[in-house]
Structure 1
Amino acid sequence: MCGITGFVDFTPASEEREVLIDTMTATMHRRGPDDQRTWLDRHVALGVRRLSVVDLVGGVQPMVAQRPGEPPVTLAYTGEVFNCDELRAELRSHGHTFTTSSDTEVVLASYLQWGAACAERLLGMFAFAVWDGRTDEVHLIRDRFGIYPMYYTEVPGGFVFGSALMALLKHPAVEPVVDTEGLRAIVDFVKAPENGIFAGVKEVRGGTIVRFGRNGLSVTTYWAPPARPHEDDLDTTVGTVRELLEDSVRRQLHSDVPLGVFLSGGLDSSALLALAARHNGGETLRTYSIDFAGHDKNFTPDEVRSTPDYPFVARMVEHLGTDHTRVVVSPEELMDPEVRREVLLARDIPTSLGDLDTSYLLLARRFRQDCTVALGGEGADELFGGYHWFLEDRFVDAQALPWLEFGRQMAGKNGLRNTGLINQDLVESLGSDEAERDLYATEVAKIERLPGESDVDRKIRTVTYLNLTGYLRIILDRKDRIGMAVSLEGRVPFLDHRLVEYVYNVPWAMKSFDGREKSLLRAAVRDLLPPSVLYRKKAGYPPIDDPGYDRALRAMVTELLADGSAPIQPFLDLGTAKSYLADPTSAASREKVNRFSLEMVLYLNEWLATYDARLAI
């Protein structure tokens, strides 16, 4: 894992280029605490902050290849490629030689052999930039699911890109301006995969290649979820899922630094842990879980979480004998201004997730004291159908982004109430309802279909596609940004594209054959887990239920309202805010405002001040 950045400039070179690339690269010191290097040529500058995970000595970047009589080809790379051994052997058969054991060198040789089409051969998670001096072009290539971030923008005479928005904002031609589309993405979660939040900034969509050169910009897709007939019976399907998942976990255990597993006591993380234990060479695995002080008495069941995590975590620790760390946090730790600020700087944009982010940061921070690499269960719900919106017709048939429809229909702490304290004229001006309908139609039109597909399978394919290309981005973005705030590399074995392509095409009748969520995954790991964990009902990442946390949030918002110089003041619905703070238990208050509403205005205010961001709406 690294942070990469750079720019292309076809105007006459300035003397400040070296200082500029150093400054842009330095913004990502947490993404790569082990090394910083840059490379400059006539029209290009590349920078890399390195987190050393594989071949700690040999994987130095940017990495340059130059054949006799030709200009250099240079790679700035972040990620892990898990079929390195096979690719290295194949490339040797084509005459390539290697001086390191790093996957970086394999990726560079793959580009030299196959060009940008090398992306189709890579099994893993990656985002990289290749400057090809032979054509004066830069290629940005992102893995199929967008596990690692990559942003870019065109500027006069050139092009700027990087793993983090802050790196781009250090370039003098990129300004922190947020237009209607960007603000809509922030406060209403209506975000196209290519939207980079700041005006003119784009995000490289998963499975695409962005090329920029003297002839301008082009974007091509090299992967999208493919529709294929599924001809295996149920037993064969269960066996194939197990085989593919086991191979993915085995490959992703490879690391030259300590590795551990996030454990929630749910089906996904427990399955990964059990498979990892089978392939870890007999060594005791480290596991980590989050919990809250007093959670045993404060926990309140709801539509998303019927049970607290820790009893199931403890059962898995007992079952497999892991070296477990239970990270218990208090409301005071979650409200620590420095922790909240660290989350903001990691994310680069405001978020309403609040304690879901700060608790994850504290968990990752403790994890990083022992390990540099973490396995997690992200992607399983999107792939195997674990969310409510796969299981209930009111969401499946909604013809809306299913996670947003779910949020609109949920009450209490699970309801989507981000904009409850924001001026409603401003909210209306964002046009989120129409934008969501347009985005839904645009994305659904991209889905490859099978002739003769049943109505149920057609609907589930739609929901699955939207989750893999939309909601999964929210989950992965949180995982990457919060993890990299403490230099922790996150790996996601469920997002091996071979497994995804197979399960994506399994009929819904097989995916739900036992009448529950994730039937297929449960069957594939039935022999590995204790019954209490195997049959545990799906539970989301836990929020803190301590009422003291909500009191602290209200106190912060009260203080914000009293600060006439606060940047958020012109954008607040002061009447609703004062009414809610006076009686947060009233029916009127609960309909419009919840914890998400409070977190959004607090983070939006700090973001406007910290980033000197300007709203152009």
Structure 2
Amino acid sequence: MCGITGWVSFHRDLTREAAELDAMTATMSCRGPDASGTWAAPHAALGHRRLAVIDLPGGAQPMTVDTPDGPVVMVYSGEAYNFTELRAELRRRGAKFTTDSDTEVVLRGYVEWGEAIVERLNGMYAFAIWDTRTDKLVMIRDRMGIKPFYFYETEDGVLFGSEPKAILANRLADSVLTTDGLRELFAFAKTPGHAVWDGMRELRPGHLAVVDRSGLRETCYWKLEVTDHTDSTEDTVGHVRSLLDDIIRRQLVADVPRCTLLSGGLDSSAMTAIAALQLQEQGEVVRSFAVDFPNQAENFRAEDIAPTQDTPYVHAVAEHIVCEHKDIMLDGAAMADPATRAAAVGARDLPIGLGDRDNSLYLLFKAIREESTVALSGESADEVFGGYPWFHNEQREADTFPWLANNKSPISPASLMHEDLTAKLDLETYKADQYREALRDVPYRDDETGLERRMREVCHLHLTRMVQSLLDRKDRMSMAVGLEVRVPFCDHRLVQYVFNTPWSLKTYDGREKSILRGATRNVLPESVANRKKSGYPGSFDPAYLAAIQSHARALVSADHSVLEFYNRDAVLAATGAGIAEITNQQRSGLERFLDFATWMDLRKPTLKLD
């Protein structure tokens, strides 16, 4: 895991731009605290920050392979979980290796197969290769978009980076947000390729882009496809378990301490239990971490997306398997600390507005990083197997993204904002347009009708839209503290297989995530195997609410520039509400208000609203 950046310019001599490249690379130091490296030629400059996970002595980057026609140079972020098999195949074809790293396998794989290397990779990755043989840059992102990759076209080339901050460190990139960028920021629709910042784009999952003197061309090398599913229920459950065993075994490979993120839900518990069995074979014990909050039992309030507390289930799993477990206790004062908010907003580059759920995730990962460098997460199982409540209630029939169909949702981006700004953004129209565009990408079977057809759509929307927001959040918060988080449920083999499993089979026992439950029940406590979906927990600490209300009042008193976008009276009303009276929309609005102000102070964006 690492941070990458670079600059291609066909009208400049980039060997003279060392300071600019160093500045871009320095922004990625949190993603790669172990080493830094740069490489420059007249028309290409590459920067890399390394988090050493495999082959600690080797694997330095940028990495170069010399060929008879000129060197090929790469900066790489992520992990190729099948690098051992690929290295063996390349050796049979005559390749000579100087390191034990997966980075060299990917680079030599490109030298051998060219851009077709993408068809052979299993993993999470974002990398860029400068090929001096043809003076072209090849940019590649993994199939599910686990690792981020951004680029910004210039008059004579391109800037790129793992995160927008690397690109914005270059003088050619302007930190501008337009009305359309704000719409994307507030809509919770996650348009593929949309980077929010004006002129910047996100390399879409399963895509590669080539930059040469004729310009930039982006092509798709992988997407979800419709295939026949002929396996019986028993065979389907068995195949999913076989896939999970293989995936987790591969993702446990590391030369540094690793652990699991355990929430006590079906997904993370199944993953942790399988990991425990596999590590026992090696004479090791799995380590796990969970988040908790002081007095959570007394303060807890059940919500649709989080109906139960995590801790009792976490402990049930830890007692059921051979596990070295630790709860990370986070209090309201730490989460409300403006420095914590600044770190979380800075990591995400944008004011997403999830407040305590972002702040606590950042602090959780920071604490875990003191003891581990790699963590396995149950992220995305709900998207793959259909775990959210709206997969199973009337929201799935709504003429919009199902996760936005509940009028009581705490995700209320326009809450507390100026009425004229909300009118200008017209988010309802924007979301409707994005929903129609997303539906056009859904592949169908010719014979799919009724509920099966609709659930094909719902699953595709989650796997191509919603999951992108969650993966981006997980990556940014973890890499902000140099922690590599792996997501076994995003293995493309599993995703493609389950996507083509009929909805009736996905719910064969009349419940959510039937296939996953059936595949892993034998390694879980009964209480956890039967637990309903409960999302990442929020804090109900009264001290946290009081703190964010106080911080918001201070911004109003200081007449902060964020009030150009927010309704002063509405903000003050929310700051005066008691913990029992404040609505989800008011609290969400306060979180967004504080995030937005923090972001303006950090990034100093230029807002161009038409």
TM-score by length of 2: 0.97
Give the conservation status (yes or no) of the 8 Å contact 2:416–2:586. Answer: no
Q: Write the distance in 2 (CA, Å) between the matches of 1:156 and 1:608.
A: 28
Structural mapping, 1:102-251, within 5 Å: 102-251=101-250
CA distance in 2, matches of 1:267, 1:12: 54
> For structure 1, which runs of at least 5 residues remain unmatched after alignment?
none
2:540 is paired with a residue of what secondary structure? coil
Corresponding position of 2:502 = 507
The corresponding residue for 1:89 is 88
Shift of the 283–391 alpha-carbon distance from structure 1 to 2, 3 Å rule, reads same
- Say if 2:438 is the partner of 1:439: no
Tell me the distance in 1 between the aligned counterparts of 2:471 and 2:190: 14
1:353 aligns with 2:354: yes
Identity of aligned residues (%): 43
Mapped partners of 1:266, 1:282: distance in 2:
26
- Please point out which of 578, 588, 600 is paired with 1:608: 600
2:564 aligned with 1:574, yes or no?
Answer: no
Partner of 2:50 in structure 1?
50
The code of the aligned residue for 1:159 comes to V
Instruction: Note the C-alpha offset of 1:586.
Output: 10
Inter-CA distance 97–14: structure 2 relative to 1 (3 Å threshold): closer
The 3-state SS of whatever aligns with 1:314 is: helix
Question: Which of these residues, 525, 528, 544, is aligned with residue 530 of structure 1?
Answer: 525
CA distance in 1, matches of 2:167, 2:241: 42
Distance in 2 between residues matched to 1:542 and 1:420, nearest whole Å: 22
CA shift, 1:368, in A, is 0.8
One-letter identity of the residue aligned with 1:299: F
What is the alpha-carbon distance in structure 1 between the residues aligned to residue 343 and residue 461 of structure 2? Answer: 30
Which letter does structure 2 place at the counterpart of 1:66? D
Q: Shift in Å at residue 217 of structure 1? A: 1.0
1:548 to 519, 543, 547: 543
Shift of 1:51: 0.1
Give a deviation string over 1:447-467, Cα, whole Å, max 9, x none: 221111232221111111111
CA separation in 2, counterparts of 1:60 and 1:577?
50
Name the SS for the 2:3 alignment partner. Answer: strand
Q: Is the 8 Å Cα contact of residues 182 and 199 (structure 1) preserved in structure 2?
A: yes
* Contact kept in structure 2, 1:187 and 1:600, CA below 8 Å: no
Q: Please give the alpha-carbon distance, in whole angstroms, between the structure 1 residues aligned to 2:536 and 2:580.
A: 27
* Per-residue deviation, residues 127-180 of structure 1 (Å, max 9, x unmatched): 000111122111110001110111001112221000011110111010110011
Which one-letter code corresponds to 1:415 in the other structure? P
Deviation at 1:191, TM superposition (A): 3.1
Specify the SS of the correspondent of 2:133: coil
Partner of 2:290: 289
Q: CA deviation at 1:14?
A: 5.6
* Residue 299 in structure 1 maps to residue 303 in structure 2: no
For 2:444, the equivalent position in structure 1 comes to: 449
CA contact 2:14–2:42 (8 Å) conserved in 1: no
CA contact (8 A) 1:234 1:510 kept: yes
Give, as a single letter, the amino acid of the residue that structure 1 aligns with 2:18: E
Q: Is the Cα contact below 8 Å between 1:512 and 1:518 reproduced in 2?
A: yes
Counterpart of 1:364 in structure 2 is 365
Q: Is the 8 A contact 2:383 2:463 kept in 1?
A: yes
User: For each residue in 1:195-231, what CA deviation from the matched residue of structure 2 results, as whole angstroms up to 9, or x when unmatched?
Assistant: 1111000001100011111101111001111110100
In structure 2, the partner of 1:76 is: 75
**Secondary structure at 2:523 match in 1:** coil
CA contact (8 A) 1:190 1:435 kept: no
Measure, in 1, the Cα distance between the counterparts of 2:561 and 2:278: 53
Shift of 1:580: 3.4
Determine if contact 1:389/1:396 at 8 Å carries over to the other structure: yes
Give the whole-Å Cα distance in 2 for the aligned partners of 1:306 and 1:191: 26
**Is contact 1:131–1:138 with CA below 8 Å preserved after alignment?**
yes
Using the TM superposition, give the Cα deviation of residue 93 of structure 1 relative to its aligned residue in structure 2, in angstroms. 2.4
Task: Report if aligned partners of 1:261, 1:375 keep a CA contact under 8 Å in 2.
Answer: yes
Query: Could you tell me which amino acid in structure 2 is paired with residue 34 of structure 1?
Result: D
* DSSP 3-state at the match of 1:312: helix
SS of 1:279's partner is: helix
The 5 A counterparts of 1:488-507 are 488-507=483-502
Question: Which amino acid is the alignment partner of residue 587 of structure 2?
Answer: R
Secondary structure class of the residue paired with 2:432: helix
**Which SS does the other structure have where 1:594 is aligned?**
helix
Post-superposition offset of 1:584: 5.9
Alignment check: 8 A CA contact 1:132 1:138 kept: yes
The 1:585/1:62 distance shift into structure 2, 3 A limit, reads closer
**Per-residue Cα deviation, 1:477-523 (whole angstroms, up to 9, x for no partner):** 11111001110000011111111111110001111111111011000
Which stretch of the first structure deviates more once superposed, 6-15 or 336-345? 6-15
Deviations, residues 543-576 of structure 1 (Å, cap 9, x unaligned): 0012222122111111111112x12021111232
The aligned counterpart of 1:24 is: 24
TM-aligned CA deviation for residue 383 of structure 1: 0.4
8 Å CA contact retained: 2:6, 2:161: yes
Distance 1:16 1:75 in 2: 20
SS at match of 2:306: coil
Kindly report the root-mean-square deviation, in angstroms, between the aligned alpha carbons of the 2 structures: 1.5
Q: CA deviation at 1:431?
A: 2.5
Residues in 2 aligned to 1:479 and 1:14: alpha-carbon distance in whole angstroms: 34
Deviations for 1:402-440, whole angstroms, at most 9, x for unmatched residues? 22224xx22xxx422222111121112112222222211
Give me the whole-angstrom Cα distance separating, in 1, the residues matched to 2:67 and 2:16. 29
Q: Aligned residues, how many?
A: 607
1:111 deviates by 1.0
For residue 206 of structure 1, what is the amino acid of its counterpart?
Answer: P
CA contact (8 A) 1:567 1:609 kept: no
- Whether the 8 Å contact between 1:184 and 1:191 is mirrored in structure 2 is no
- The aligned counterpart of 2:262 is 263
C-alpha distance in structure 2 between counterparts of 1:232 and 1:455, whole Å: 22
Unaligned runs of 5+ in 2: none
Shift of 1:187: 2.4
Cα distance between partner residues in 2 of 1:477 and 1:265: 23
Corresponding residue for 2:400? Answer: 400
Residue in 2 aligned with 1:427? Answer: 422
Any idea what SS the aligned residue of 1:217 has?
strand
Change in CA separation of 1:546 and 1:583 when aligned onto 2, cut-off 3 Å:
closer
**How many Å separate the matches in 1 of 2:527 and 2:403?**
28
CA distance in 2, matches of 1:279, 1:58: 27
Q: CA deviation at 1:590?
A: 3.7
Deviation at 1:16, TM superposition (A): 4.3
Structure-2 separation of matches of 1:344 and 1:255: 30
> Offset at 1:71?
2.2
CA 1:397–1:26 in 2, change beyond 3 Å: closer, same or farther? Answer: same
Larger displacement relative to structure 2 (22-31 or 545-554)? 545-554
Flag the 1:583–1:365 CA change in 2: closer, same or farther, 3 A.
Answer: closer
CA distance in 2, matches of 1:72, 1:494: 37
Alignment partners' CA distance in 1, 2:243 and 2:443: 23
1:379 alignment counterpart: 380
**Residues 26-41 of structure 1 correspond to what in structure 2 (within 5 A)?**
26-41=26-41
Shift of 1:15: 6.2
Give the 3-state SS of the residue equivalent to 1:127 in structure 2: strand
Distance apart, 1:95 and its partner CA:
2.0
Contact 2:415 2:589 in 1 (8 A): yes
Conservation of the 8 A alpha-carbon contact between 1:177 and 1:616: yes
- Asked if the contact 2:549/2:576 (under 8 Å) is kept, the reply is no
Counterpart CA distance in 1 for 2:385 and 2:67 is 47
Query: Secondary structure, in 3 states, of the residue corresponding to 1:526?
Result: helix
Q: Is the 8 A contact 2:14 2:40 kept in 1?
A: no
Alpha carbons 1:190, 1:432 under 8 Å: kept: no
Decide whether the 8 Å contact of 1:62 with 1:76 is kept in 2: yes
Aligned equivalents of 2:244, 2:550: Cα separation in 1 = 47
CA apart distance, 1:610: 1.5
Q: Secondary structure at the match of 1:568?
A: helix
